[in-house]
């Protein structure tokens, strides 16, 4: 994989990990609407 592609892939993975973290925090809050969690969850890869 070319270096530029690798950097982009690593950046996307970091962002997905951040979204997963947000999902876990928001899911624990009963006052958070499902659509807010879904907004973050749609970018999380299945293997995070």
Residue 38 binned pLDDT confidence (cut-offs 50, 70, 90)? confident
Residue 44, pLDDT score: 61
Asked if residue 22 belongs to a domain, the reply is yes
Residue 16, pLDDT score: 84
Cα–Cα distance for residue pair 13/21, rounded to 1 Å = 12
Tell me the whole-structure pTM to 2 decimals.
Answer: 0.69
The Cβ-side half-sphere exposure at 14, using a 13 Å CA radius, reads: 6
Asked if residue 47 belongs to a domain, the reply is no
Asked if residue 28 belongs to a domain, the reply is yes
Cα–Cα distance for residue pair 15/13, rounded to 1 Å = 5
Cα–Cα distance for residue pair 28/36, rounded to 1 Å = 13
Q: Which tens digit of pLDDT belongs to each residue from 5-36?
A: 999 999 988 988 888 898 899 999 999 999 98
Asked if residue 20 belongs to a domain, the reply is yes
Domain count, the chain: 1
Asked if residue 48 belongs to a domain, the reply is no
Residue 45, pLDDT score: 62
Instruction: Select from 19, 11, 14 the least CA-distant residue to 36.
Output: 19
Asked if residue 13 belongs to a domain, the reply is yes
Question: Which residues span the domain enclosing 14?
Answer: 3-41
């Amino acid at each position: 994989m070319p270096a530029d592609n690798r950097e982009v892939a690593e950046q996307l993975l970091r962002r997905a990990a951040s979204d997963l973290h947000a999902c876990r925090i928001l899911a624990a809050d009963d006052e958070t609407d499902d659509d807010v969690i879904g907004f973050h969850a749609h970018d999380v890869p299945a293997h995070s």
